[in-house]
Amino acid sequence: MKKLFFGLLVLLVGPTQAQDWPSRPVRLILPFASGGAADVVTRIAMGKVGEQMGQQFIVENRTGASGNIGTEAAAKSAPDGYTYMVGSPGTMVINPHFFPTLPYDALKDFVPAVHVARFPQVLAVHASVPAEKLADLLVLAKKEPGRLNYGSSGTGSTGHLITESFLSHTGIRMTHIPFRGGGPAVQALLGGQLQMVIDGLPSFAAHLQGGRIRLLGITSATRWPELPDVPAIGESAVKGFDMGSWVLLFAPTKTPPEILRKLASETTKALALSEVQTRLRQVGALPAGGTPEDAARFHRTEYERWGAVVRETGAKPE
């Protein structure tokens, strides 16, 4: 009889929690510096969700250790629906295969809530690099192996692994300079401290008209509709090359599923708005949305896919 009582209590409490949520600001821990692709996309999408729900969704940039510091903090947060992890490939599907030990388990410590968006990575060079086309860059890099520096949002990040895969497939060598996010890496590229960066298109969106960088390729099999003049690496330098990025929101395990469903529903509703879609496309992202189950299936597939990439490239922590 006592078990039946507690079972009914759980059924009643769950919907009530979801109905009242959120009653205070919601924290979104993003483990990289501001200005990167995931940061830009999250602020656009979740800003609108906050407007819809009458509460702030606050992005907290907590950097360090290739995203592991912020991710650990999110994993150890209370599973009450008020803290989420802004997940991207680097922390949620690459690091688990890349580092020998981690302070979190991407599969056990988190539950996917909603797939926010996906976007291609782009290969950009500083304007001083004498390469108008991707083929020019390959010739230049082969002449002087290791002289060109490339930056990434951190060791084991999406940009790092994609770049290493690109270098491996093309037989060239460059020197890796890791940063605490895509934003700082792009700033170093703009300043001429780096010769090349591969990062999410949203990281470069605000700098495409300044003449300080040049886009030579997109890390996909086909061209991006908004940048028809930028060739896809998969159609030119490396046939079939197709490696992109994404943003998923994750909650600490044991977060009430009713709250996750409400968050997914509100996020999907926001992503369907024409104004949000326009803003995301302007920065080079495609809206996703869907249920927590959709996000979980996508995460599992990406987890296996990127594990294979880590093994194939042979990339190691620096």
Domains 25-119+246-313 and 120-235 share a fold: yes
Residue 114 phi/psi, 5-degree rounding, is -160, 145
pLDDT per residue as tens digits for the range 167-180: 999 999 999 999 98
Confidence category of residue 157, pLDDT binned at 50, 70, 90: confident
Residue 16, pLDDT > 70, answer: no
User: Which has the minimum average pLDDT: 7-16, 50-59, 295-304?
Assistant: 7-16
What whole-number distance in Å separates Cα of residue 269 and Cα of residue 24?
21
Q: Where are the domains of the chain?
A: 25-119+246-313, 120-235
**Kind of pairing between the strands at 244-252 and 83-87:** antiparallel
For residue 302, the surrounding DSSP H or E stretch is: helix 292-313
Q: What are the residues facing 286 on neighbouring strands? A: 118
CB 46 within 8 A of CB 57: yes
- Selected residue with higher pLDDT from 11 and 57: 57
Beta-carbon contacts of residue 284 (< 8 Å; ≥ 6 apart):
37, 119, 120, 122, 200, 201, 202, 204, 205, 224, 226, 227
| Residue type, position 203, single letter | S
Structure tokens of 17? Answer: 């929690």
Q: What are the residues facing 219 on neighbouring strands? A: none
What whole-number distance in Å separates Cα of residue 179 and Cα of residue 154?
5
Question: In angstroms, how far is CA 105 from the centroid of its own chain?
Answer: 18
Confidence category of residue 69, pLDDT binned at 50, 70, 90: very high
Q: What are the residues facing 30 on neighbouring strands? A: 61
CB 295 within 8 A of CB 112: yes
Of 3.40.50.300, 2.40.30.20, 3.40.190.10, 3.40.50.10330, which CATH number belongs to 120-235?
A: 3.40.190.10
Nearest to 245 by CA among 198, 205, 292: 198
Average pLDDT, the chain: 92
Structure tokens of 119? Answer: 């976007």
Q: What is the mean pLDDT of residues 63-67?
A: 91
What whole-number distance in Å separates Cα of residue 259 and Cα of residue 79?
10
What whole-number distance in Å separates Cα of residue 240 and Cα of residue 237?
9
Residue 10, pLDDT > 60, answer: no
pLDDT per residue as tens digits for the range 123-152: 999 999 999 999 999 999 999 999 999 999
For residue 148, the surrounding DSSP H or E stretch is: none
Confidence category of residue 4, pLDDT binned at 50, 70, 90: low
Residue 242, pLDDT > 70, answer: yes
Topology of domain 25-119+246-313 in CATH is: D-Maltodextrin-Binding Protein; domain 2 (3.40.190)
Q: Reduced to 3 states, what is the DSSP secondary structure of residue 72?
A: helix
Nearest to 154 by CA among 81, 68, 271: 68
CB 61 within 8 A of CB 223: no
Q: What is the mean pLDDT of residues 150-156?
A: 91
